[in-house]
Structures are given as C-alpha cells and as structure tokens.
Structure 1
Amino acid sequence: MSSAPVRDALAAALALAFPVWCAGCDLPDAVLCPSCREGLSSTVSVRRIDTVGVHSALVFDGVVARVVRAFKEDGRTALAAALAPALAAAVGSCAGGAIVVPVPASRAAMRRRGYRPVELVCRRAGLAPERLLQAVRPTADQRGLPREARVANITGSMRARDVAAGVRVVVVDDVVTTGATLTEAARALRSAGAVVVGAATIAATPRRRHAVRSDTSVPAQ
C-alpha cells in the first residue's frame, strides 16, 4: 500500500477518535480550512502608540479573532503554525537584527494554559524569543477596561532583566488594543538600557471612534 492511502486512512481514524473542526468557521475535519487560512493573509499596518511604533499584520476581527481565541483559550496549539507568518511579517517590517522580546505571561495565565502563546508563535515563525521581561506584580484582566484604566492597571507591572546596555529589541505580543501593555514593556526595557526599535503583533483590534468593546479583546497574558 502506498504512503498516501496509509496517511489518509490514519487521518480518517484520528478524525473519528479525536474530531476536529476549523477554528475559523467550524467546518468539520479541518484544523483550519483553506478559506479561513486565506483569511490570515497578512498586510502589515503601523501605528504609533505613545513612543512605540506598533507593527501589526492582521485585523483582530472575524476569522482572525476566532483563530486567535481558539489558539489562546481552547488550547489549540496547532494553530500557532497558521499564525506564525503574520507575526514573522510584523517583526520583519519592524527592524532586522533586533532581539525579539515577548510580553511576559502572567503566572495565572501559565497555570491556566500550560504554555506561552506568544513564545510558541515566535518559535513557529523561526524567531528566537528571549525572556528579558518578567511580571513583577499581578494585574487585572484588561478586557473591557477603558484606556486610562488599562494604563493604570499595567503601569509598573514589568521589569527587564539581563539586558545589555544599548541592545536593540522589538517587543512582541499577540494582539494590540490600546497599546498599554506594549508601552509598559517598552518602558521597562528602556529603563534597563535597551533600545526599543518597535513592537510587533499578530493582530490589532479595529480602530473605533468610541471605546473598544470587550468582546473584541482576548485575555491578558
């Protein structure tokens, strides 16, 4: 029997034992269907938030939002490979040769998930994330908070460690909403002597004239 029929038979058996569905549209027997995979095609946009230029590859809405949530909150780690090209594009447009520094995951998030989503996508993208940031105090869930409350919640919550003076870094996260988390990460790194050349995210929430609705956000790291 050739390898293709064997592979197909194994895939069918696994689908019966462990049914899967598309993270973007719920189509059965697919981790991500071709149509939803096409919806993850990236076009990098840049916006400046305080002193940080944030490069984002996707808009956090529709299929993108569903895939990111499934990856972070449903434990569907196989989706990291599908999100990796977007993060790679965002980092690539930010600055070459800079050290990639992920926003740190909180202890609560690590206990809940068992993995660090941003670091996993970095590795799938062929990047080498370095944990130069650490959380120094717990923070509340950022979802639903207005910008001022987000800033107050996150300010002073991170500290940089083992940073060489003058080293060039790019901060990475999964989704940017108000930019409060990225701004705090940049502050901590600069305080330790790093040069923050920018920030990169998989996606950015749609810009609205009014406050961002809570259902467009994902839980904090």
Structure 2
Amino acid sequence: MPVPLESRVSTAVRASLAEALSLVFPTWCAGCDELDVSLCGACAAALQPHPAARRLDGFEVRSALPFDGVAARVIRAYKQEGRTGLARPLGAALAAAVGTVDADTVIVPVPSSRAAIRRRGYRVAELLARRADLAPRRLLHPAAVAADQRELGREARAANVHGTLRAGPVAGLRVIVVDDVVTTGATLSEAVRVLRTAGADVLRAATVAATARRSPAA
C-alpha cells in the first residue's frame, strides 16, 4: 500500500530537522565517541548491570558496574558534561544495585554540594534515582564544604568529609543510601553515620559503579 504523500513529507521534514540539529548540536556516544548517537548499542550493552557487594564500615555497598571503560566515560559525561539524558541508562544500573525495595523502605541519595548544584543545575545521585523510578527523598543535606577529595587517601577523605552532611527527619525510617560511584567510601560512610545517628535504620548502600577494591568507596 503506497505511503500517503503527507506522511512522506512529514518523515522527510523530521529527518531534515534532525540532520540540521545534529550540525548545530552535534551528538556523539558518551562511551566511544560514535557520531549521531548519545549512547551506541555496544556501549549500552556494556552498561548492563552485574551487581557486586562489599562490606564497608559496618554496612553493605552494592554496585552495578566497575568504574572503568565505558561505565567510567559515561558517568563522567553525565557529571562533567551535563549530559543528563544518560541518567536513564545509568539509573537502570543503579536500580539493579539497589535490588528489591519494600514499600516501607526509603531511598536517600547522597546530596551534591551547593556549589556543584549551581555549576551543574542538577543533583547527581538524586536525578539517577529519579530516572530509575526509585522515588528518592531528600533527607540528607550539605552541612559544610569539603575540600577536593581527588588527591586524598582513605583516611584523609574520611577526615575531610566528617561533619559535611546533616540528616532530616529520619528517625525510625528504613533507608537505602544511593550515590553514583564508590571510591574510598568516605562519603558513603559519613552519610550512613549521620543517618544512623539521627535514628534511621540504614539497610545498605548502592551505587552505579565502584572503583577497584584497592580504593574502596566515595
């Protein structure tokens, strides 16, 4: 059956617009730089979760992916380049790490700093949880500014983040803490400490990715 002229014109117009937009706003795969796609099929497949768990300071952390290769590039593009469309595939990995959630369990994202929110315009862990349909609640808040963590070891990171978070009304709540990446574990440990001090029952933590075990959480 012939395709109606109107439909053919509409298809041609959409294709022309897409081509024009690709020239003005070029798109490339966050994982491998393939042109005209935000995430190619091969890189999307590389983000299929394979959750693994580790113990950290008295609680379990489950991570969907190792923080290397495609996963690391995609997470950096999401965080550093403002490519928020990547929050959905990354959120799917986070959901796999979170696992089964009971109706009375609350998902609490690790908060971004105020400076990071101003710079990016979004909260990294919270947006991932929202795109994963995890219904996060903003029950952790920045309380102080930490120095740059990147060049610090585990003990220095722990000291650096101590006192940088405060909890909202969490007494009696069953909580799973979520974040994007676990590196040395300092930030997650501080989040869990603050929540437990405020009366929450922290069941575990979950992240999209984890660095090699030689540098255990972020």
Question: What is the TM-score when the length of structure 1 is the normalising length?
Answer: 0.89
Q: Where in structure 1 do 4 or more consecutive aligned residues deviate above 6 Å?
A: none
2:197 aligns with one of 180, 186, 191:
191
**Which residue identity is paired with 1:89?**
A
Deviation of 1:159 (Å): 1.1
Q: In the aligned structure 1, how far is the partner of 2:15 from the partner of 2:89?
A: 22
Amino acid at match of 1:91: V
Give 1:78 deviation, angstroms. 0.8
CA RMSD of aligned residues (A): 1.8
Which residue of 166, 177, 186 corresponds with 2:172?
Answer: 166
- Hey, what does 2:146 align to over in structure 1? 139
> Do residues 29 (structure 1) and 32 (structure 2) align?
no
Mapped partners of 2:11, 2:62: distance in 1 = 41
Query: Which structure's CA Rg is the greater one?
Result: 2
Distance between the aligned counterparts of 1:160 and 1:200, measured in 2? 18
Q: What SS does the corresponding residue of 1:134 show, helix, strand or coil?
A: strand
The structure with higher relative contact order (CA 8 Å, sep 6+) is: 1
Give the TM-score normalised by structure 2. 0.91
Gaps of 5+ in 1: none
1:95-118 Cα shifts (integer Å, max 9, x gaps): 433100011111111121111111
Pick one of 104, 116, 125 that aligns with 2:123.
116
1:87 alignment counterpart:
94
How far, CA to CA, are the matches of 1:9 and 1:155 in structure 2? Answer: 54
Match 2:81 to one of 74, 80, 97: 74
Equivalent residue for 1:19?
A: 26
Number of corresponding residues:
210
Unaligned regions of 5+ residues in structure 2, if any?
1-6
Distance 1:4 1:185 in 2: 51
Helix, strand or coil for the counterpart of 2:22? helix
2:187 aligned residue: 181
**Pair 1:59 & 2:66 matched:** yes
Tell me, in whole angstroms, the C-alpha distance in 2 between the residues paired with 1:6 and 1:42.
38
CA distance in 2, matches of 1:153, 1:14: 44
